[in-house]
Structure 1
Amino acid sequence: MADAGDDQVPLLERVEMPSKLPKELQREMTLLQDEFADAQVEHMRVGVNLMRPVYAKRNELIASKLKDLDFWPRVFSNLPAEIDEFILPSDAQILASCLKNFNIERIGVDEATGQGEPRSLRFTFEFDTGDDNIWFTNEKLVKDFHWRRELKITASGKRRVWEGLVSEPVRISWKPDMDPTHGLLDAACDLAEAEKAFIKKEKKDKISEDERMNLPEFEKLVELAAKVEAQAAPDNEGEEDGDEDGASPAGLSFFAWFGYRGADVSEKESEAARKEDKETTEKRRKGEDIPGEDDDDDDEDEEEEDSLAIAEIFADGQNVAIAFGEEVWPEALQSYVDSYMVPDDFEDFDELDVEEMEALVAGGEDDDDEEKGEKADKEERPRKKAKKA
């Protein structure tokens, strides 16, 4: 039996690592990592067209049988932590009262050829614009996220690669005094529009970091973001870890997510980076040296100030988008069932059976007691708990 004291020794202290991996081993590991990454993307790409008809059937079921049973509000009441932490009680009220439909498309994959970028996403939110919606007038909000890749060579010649989701801010037509983002979303949209106007006026392909920071809209957005964060800070004091009723990070409304931008990388720049990556991989296979890869990471260059990151109003926008695409969208039917939280009726629902769901819906439609049904609807409609005082 091992000494109990040995169990407290961290694993990294038990093993010995060479001060530096051999160059040839580094090359082999990098090539294998590239293969893993390519295979994962290809697996996702193939799955897009396989899942499209399945999602179409689900959309049809929701539209025909579940639309009036608060399908999407119930799903949004059971969101993963990566998203739920940004849902304020006021956001939950908007979603529960007004959200009619929700859709995600993998817009980068061509339906006919099956080729393209599977990580690019389109989110479509449809809302009730009747009397229940006292917040905004938009019937539909569409936000696109494009997966981009960027290659930079630093002043000292180091090779730096970035990839991720980029997007354009989407304006919401708020009714007077009903904006839960406290003007941040409008300010983000104003900056994006000012950048486009500047580029058009100056006949340029892209705005520089300094040019962006010199725009009055940039200064206004940064100042407003600091003000909103400062005002929200007292609300977050004293919150305990794991408190499900706690405030969103920095008191941030989920609707600020519509202002997420990410990096300033065009499709043209991204395509050039992908082409260069292929050439670099081929050189690596041949055992050729890759300029900028052998430098020690400890000797970091001073990076150019990222003005877009400074003006970002929803830094976790990419994580939220991915969580929607990989967790919420595929598991929506099961999340809807789980929202009822009736273990006796659903204990065998390891995998949701569409026929059983239709039977459930039919049973709900046969309820002749209208008054009882209205009362039950009010009791069952999911609401975000108000933050404790």
Structure 2
Amino acid sequence: MASDDGQVPLLERAEMPDTTPTIPKETAREIALLEREFVEAEVQALRASFPLLRPLYTRRNALIASKLADAEFWPRVFAFASEIEAYLLPSDEMILSECLKNFTVERISVNEAGDAGEPRDVRFTFEFDTSPERNVWFGGDGKLVKEFYWRKSIGVSEKSGRRKVWEGLVSQPVRIPWRKAEVDPTKGLLDAACNLAEAEGKAAAGKKITPEQRLDLPEYEKLVTEVAKVEAEAGLRAEREADGDDDEDEDDHEEEGPADVSFFAWFGYRGRDISAEESEEAMKADEEYWGKIARGEKVEGDEKEGEGDAAAGDEFEEDEDDDDEDGLMDAEIYPEGHELAMTLGDEVWDNALKYYVQSLQAPEFGSDIDFDMDGMEDDDYDDEEETDRPRKKVKT
């Protein structure tokens, strides 16, 4: 009998028969195949959109450089983009507001016609003021360039024996010349990640480093130790908050990034160790695999009963313990690097003008800037406005 609130008691629910529908194997394959085709169509649409958008980005860059150079454009955009709020610590916000001069995003692999190239390959360029009187954190020429490449790998799970597929963004660490260790918001993590990448290059002597070589490097052991320390501290902090023993202001935690790691640790994100050649081979193998599925042919793994249907998408369910083949997961200083890169490229970059105008309209975000808002009503930039430019949601 249902309770007054309409909920079925737990004991009765436990005794109820399982009504989950059983999907035939062939139907599951059709679902997986159609889902893959949706993803491919979204990627093609993303690629085709860039020839239309590039001239607009060029005009926007010119507008910012000529008329908004002294109007805090990019600091305001980063401060007002709610999608990245969780990735910024208070110290990150201070650096961005004081020193960020320019920010650009380039889809580096798509050709001019928009009919070839991986649209998810992306280059981020940050330009900072590095004058000592304004930037007490780091020097150099102020330009930080980080590139991401979309890669795919195919393997076999050691635990289940099933086909497993990984795809996502990979990158190389980018060093930031901190003026001194005390002002490094990453607390040494970024330097340690860069040190490991450089040590790998020397150890491999121009070839791809093996997992065994990587694990033997002292730089690897040091970085893994530092990452584990940060994760442990974050876990203890979370426990204190759950127990109500943390006396810090709750508002401070709302702005803390993943695992309380600085946004600038994102420059050390690596992802998987997959070369362009390995990825290309995996993509060809994947095309052949799904081609067989589309033709109704038998694929490897069909004979394995009780292990799930790989063609129905089970190969995407990965066990983390079975997944760190190259040892980089334990040494990853910014596990959310893929997600942040996608957010910067698809949300912050695309909607920069909207965020900037919103920042000027917000009374709590005061400024001495005299910005003529005639003809622009608040509703024009409402987050719920139906005429907002649609966001690109390419599935990964």
In the superposition, relative to structure 1, how do residues 54 and 243 fare at CA in structure 2: closer, same or farther (>3 Å)?
farther
Please list the CA deviations of residues 108-140 of structure 1 after superposition, one character each: whole Å capped at 9, or x if unmatched: 211245311111111000011212011111310
Distance, in Å, in 1 between the alignment partners of 2:328 and 2:215 is 9
What is the CA–CA distance in structure 2 between the aligned matches of 1:264 and 1:158, rounded to whole Å? 21
Any gaps of 5 or more consecutive residues in structure 2? 309-313, 364-371, 383-396
User: Which residue matches 2:189?
Assistant: 184
Distance 1:99 1:91 in 2: 11
What is residue 97 of structure 1 aligned with on the other side? 98
CA distance in 1, matches of 2:146, 2:157: 33
Which of 167, 170, 174 does residue 166 from structure 1 map onto?
170
In the superposition, the TM-score normalised over structure 2's length comes to: 0.79
Aligned residue among 278, 289, 292 for 1:283: 292
Are the equivalent residues in 2 in contact too, given 1:181–1:256 (CA < 8 A)? yes
For residues 233 and 341 of structure 1, what CA distance do their matches in structure 2 show? 39
Is the CA contact 1:235–1:251 (under 8 Å) kept in the aligned structure 2?
A: no
Deviates more, 1:309-318 or 1:336-345: 336-345
Write the distance in 2 (CA, Å) between the matches of 1:255 and 1:317. 11
- The offset of 1:179, in angstroms, is 0.9
Q: Secondary structure of the equivalent of 2:252?
A: coil
Q: Select which of 260, 270, 273 maps to 2:282.
A: 273
Shift of 1:282: 1.6
Contact persistence 1:229–1:250 (CA under 8 A): yes
Overall identity of the aligned pairs, in %: 49
For these two proteins, the number of residue pairs brought into alignment is: 345
1:34-74 per-position Cα deviation (integer Å, ceiling 9, x unaligned): 21111111111111121111111111111111110000000
TM-score between both structures, scaled by the size of structure 1: 0.80
Match of 1:333 among 333, 350, 353: 353
Gaps of 5+ in 1: 353-389
Q: Tell whether 2:150 aligns with 1:147.
A: yes
Distance in 2 between residues matched to 1:62 and 1:198, nearest whole Å: 45
With over 3 angstroms needed to count, the CA separation of the structure-2 counterparts of 1:226 and 1:34, relative to structure 1, is: closer
What CA distance in whole angstroms lies between the structure 1 residues aligned with 2:134 and 2:233?
A: 29
3-state DSSP of counterpart to 2:87 = coil
CA–CA separation in structure 2 for the residues paired with 1:280 and 1:9:
46
The change in CA–CA distance for 1:244 and 1:102 in structure 2 (over 3 A counts) is farther
CA deviation vs aligned residue, 1:78-131 (integer Å, no higher than 9, x gap): 1234x2222111111111111000001111211245311111111000011212
Gap change, CA 1:319 and 1:244, over 3 Å in 2: farther
Are the equivalent residues in 1 in contact too, given 2:151–2:170 (CA < 8 A)? Answer: yes
Q: Is 1:324 aligned to 2:327, yes or no? A: no
Post-superposition Cα deviations, 1:267-314, rounded to whole Å, max 9, x if no partner, equal: 111111111111112211221111126551499987264410000000
Tell me, yes or no, if the aligned pair for 2:265 and 2:334 is still in contact at 8 Å.
yes
Question: Would the alpha carbon gap of residues 14 and 100 (structure 1) be closer, same or farther in structure 2, given more than 3 Å must change?
Answer: farther
What's the CA shift for 1:225? 2.3
The whole-number CA distance in structure 1 between the counterparts of 2:62 and 2:7 is: 55
Q: Which amino acid aligns with 2:264?
A: F
What are the Cα deviations for residues 170-217 of structure 1, in whole angstroms up to 9, with x where unaligned? 0000001321111110100010111111111xx64x222232111100
Kept in 1: contact 2:48–2:114 (CA 8 A): no
TM-superposed deviation, 1:7? 6.8
